[in-house]
Structure 1
Amino acid sequence: MPSDMDPSIANPLEQLTLDQLRARTSMKWTTFPADVLPLWVAEMDVLLAEPVVARVYEAIAAGDTGYPSGRAYARALQSFAADRWGWRDFDVERTAIVPDVMLGIVEALRLITTPGDAVVVCPPVYPPFYAFVTHADRKVIEAPLGPDGRLDMETLRAAFASAEHVSAGTVLLLANPHNPTGTVHTRAELMSVAALAKSFGVRVVSDEIHAPLVLSGAEFVPYLTIPGAKDAFALHSASKAWNLAGLKAALLVAGPNAVDDLHRLPEEVSHGPSHVGVLAHTAAFEEGRPWLDALLRGLDTNRALLADLVAERLPGLALMWPEATYLAWLDCRSLGLPTTPAPTAAPVVSDIAGPAQLFLDQARVALSSGHVFGSGGAGFVRINFATSSTILRDAVDRMAAAVSGLETP
């Protein structure tokens, strides 16, 4: 148990009513009509951690709303990484502030690849991987996860070999932890990835935005702590763990052998993050750990609740147990619904097909459609369980009624 854990902090997921949530103006609560329960995009139904609120209020009251500066964000992450993940050689001098994780990924790709080079992804995977890589004029090559939702080294090897024929410089874009399956890659798996990448001359860029959200029973391993990962990059942010998507800021972290690449990062990239966002993220890593622990306890509870509800109310469907994140991957292929083939170009995150369309139309529950996550995603849905137990129960009850309707003659 982390030493700063405070069991007296209330579960952040149980503090807001549905009416209060419907007053929000963000994407999650405005994309669909008011009768729809939105459990799709990665926004949590929480109030912000008090230290974050205080830091933002102080900045606004003081008119401290200029351009970002300094290393406070990196030092806050350094302390958090040492305490939570045992990352003792994190060097703040090997970091750069970037607008957000995906834009940081694009900037890393621009540093170590050229237009037309290959970027390997492991679907089903976060849809913006396709969109941003494609828009950056790089070629996506898929190395699908295994049936167990884990990295498949032989498939990865084949993808690296294929990339050699079309690319002068190949990158593996890794989701660590993995979205949408919630898989937490083990140290042994990451060591195998690093060894394989080195043998093919592949560079790794690791998206670690969900790293603070590893749930009980699993342990996060930063990719840059793996032997053989010295030329890699990692992206970190408080965005997902503290619900700060609207306050843009992230950190690009270079391995020791990637420092020369990092030094070529254009200076104007650091102008993209919000200064207030940087302050908020810094406060989260510095002072928001007790709140995060309360959130993690709530997510543990909701993860178990969702598994029980699916087993009881949706017995024909299969839930992959998420080891991290607040996103669960639900196999609905047994419903026999038509699905949309995996995308060959950049998918649109809000695209809906197959079971997600059924649950939206018949249950009035919005879920992320599996087909936009690439190969292996069709027939699945992704559920955001970072909400109250009341909303979660209501959503599954509605979904069960919709599935029951399919079975009615």
Structure 2
Amino acid sequence: MADNSREVFAPHSDNPLRQLTVDQLRRRTSLKWRAYPENVLPLWVAEMDTLLAEPVAQAIRDAVALGDTGYPTGSGYAEALATFASERWGWDGLSAKRTAIVPDVMLGVVEMLKLVSDPSSPVIVNPPVYPPFFQFVESMGRPVIEAPLGADRRIDLEALEAAFTLAVQGGDRPVYLLCSPHNPTGTVHTAEELADVAALARRYRIRVVVDEIHAPIVASSTRFVPYLSVPGGENGLSLMSASKAWNLPGLKSALAIAGPDAADDLLRLPEEVSHGPSHLGIIAHTAALRDGGDWLDSLLVGLDDNRRLLADLLTEHLPAVRYAPAQATYLAWLDCRRLGLGDDPAAIFLERGRVALNSGIPFGTGGTGFVRLNLATSPEILTEAVRRMASALA
């Protein structure tokens, strides 16, 4: 039986997205493949249809063999991320001394907001944006102020300044929660854009907390720029993790990173926060960053291929859908407003086409009539999903 199991899951392609069949994926017990009935193709939540990178799998096996399942400690994760940042982004400003382990990126965001703002302080976001930005902030009792992206899906500095002006009127300590790369649009903010943001934030005395979880997942023609690396970003706080790029959301761990001028803020992080991450998670994330580069490179090629494939499929089957291949993430933001499916086309695609996508509505202003599609799957599944979406219009 063990030999047969290994054969079933033996990689048969260099592309991590082409190593598992639908039948194999349906054996998974995580959210993506269990939230809907078996006749639904799930292209929604941010899980990838891949095997683990072998260095990550081996690190977990080694830890389990040793019974190394205790409490986390040490700076190996931060050091691995610092090396990765230097090699991939040309950024040598990540100091392990200015980091702290946190349970995951969104819980890390919550802790950063507590450090640099007041309990009633507003939080500025750029919709359409990752729904937990609204959910977590509102659960803290904080008001959300929207500074919508421009029509080009980039940061609109005029809208941002208007939001900053409104935010500081109450006398609290507002925070700008930035998503970089942006989810769901996949926009990668340029160094110039980020420097403009930093200058504006300094002028209004607004602190910046940035979610950079998708940073390793960029298209071949794109360069990711860490917010903390730009002039004026020295007092920023960043959250990073290997979870999205190596498909590790079930192995909880992330890093909070402080710019040089925010080091004292991070020192005030309660010690008990570091008890939340999984030790196995930290082992897995460290192995991914340290030894998973070749696997990541293969994944990025596969994602580039899938972006082109999706564009071709939509042109053939759903030409009224507007789609601009993203610069980053493995998510596609599809404008379905010309299909005549109402405010929530995801509901129609699910009901009539048996394809699960994310509704654009929870992403805030600019999300109505849109869907988010997860293209981190095999070309065969992606092709069938678009075919089913087209059938929903018949």
Shorter chain as normaliser: what TM range? over 0.9
Out of 349, 360, 369, which is 1:359 matched to? 349
Q: TM-score, normalised by structure 2?
A: 0.96
CA contact (8 A) 1:114 1:138 kept: no
1:115 pairs with 2:115: no
Which ranges in structure 2 are unaligned for 5 or more consecutive residues?
A: 1-11
1:4-45 per-position Cα deviation (integer Å, ceiling 9, x unaligned): xxxx97100000000000110100001100000000000000
Unaligned runs of 5+ in 1: 1-7, 340-353
Residue 400 of structure 1 corresponds to which residue in structure 2?
390
Q: Is the 8 A contact 1:9 1:291 kept in 2?
A: no
**Does structure 1 residue 72 correspond to structure 2 residue 54?**
no
* Equivalent pair of 2:100/2:255 in contact (CA under 8 Å): yes
Equivalent residue of 1:96, what SS? strand
Q: Distance in 1 between matches of 2:120 and 2:337?
A: 35
> What secondary structure, in the 3-state scheme, does the structure 2 residue paired with 1:328 have?
strand
**Identity %, equivalent residues:** 61
Name 2:97's counterpart in structure 1.
93
C-alpha displacement at 1:144, in angstroms? Answer: 0.3
Moved over 6 A (4+): none
Cα offset, 1:270, TM superposition: 0.3
Please state if 1:391 is matched with 2:391: no
Asked whether the 8 Å contact 1:239–1:245 carries over to 2, the reply is yes
Distance 1:190 1:364 in 2: 40
Equivalent residue, structure 1, for 2:5: none
Match of residue 351 from structure 1:
none
Residues 13 and 19, structure 2, Cα contact 8 Å, conserved in 1: no
Is 2:140 the counterpart of 1:140?
Answer: no
Q: CA deviation at 1:335?
A: 1.9
State whether structure 2 residue 135 is matched by structure 1 residue 131.
Answer: yes
* CA distance in 2 between partners of 1:136 and 1:96 (Å): 22
> 2:345, 2:176 → 1: CA distance?
30
Aligned equivalent of 2:296: 292
Matched residue SS, 2:216: helix
1:368 aligns with 2:372: no
Give how far 1:338 is off. Answer: 2.8
* 1:349 alignment counterpart: none
Q: For residues 332-351 of structure 1, what are the structure 2 equivalents within 5 Å?
A: 332-339=336-343
Match of 2:50 among 23, 27, 46: 46
1:346 is matched with none
The partner residue of 1:253 within 254, 257, 265 is 257
Code of the residue aligned with 2:216 in structure 1: it is P
TM-aligned CA deviation for residue 139 of structure 1: 1.3
Q: Distance in 2 between matches of 1:212 and 1:400?
A: 32
TM-score (norm 1): 0.93
Q: Offset of 1:337 from its aligned partner?
A: 2.9
- The answer on whether the counterparts of 1:116 and 1:167 sit within 8 Å (CA) in structure 2 is no
Indicate conservation of the 8 Å contact 2:213/2:239, yes or no: yes
Cα pair 2:55 2:287 within 8 Å, conserved = yes
1:1-400 mapped onto 2 (5 Å cutoff): 10-339=14-343, 354-400=344-390
Q: Give distance in 2, aligned partners of 1:78 and 1:263.
A: 19
| Greater CA drift, 130-139 or 201-210 | 130-139
Do the aligned residues in 2 keep the contact of 1:9 with 1:290 (CA within 8 Å)?
A: no
For 1:377, the aligned partner's letter is G
Offset at residue 167 of structure 1 (A): 4.7
SS class of match (1:165): helix
Deviations 1:66-117 (A, max 9, x none): 1100000000000000000011121110000000000000000000011110
* SS of aligned partner of 2:234: coil
Q: Note the alpha carbon deviations across 1:177-223, whole angstroms, 9 max, x for none.
A: 00000000011110110111111001001100000001111110000
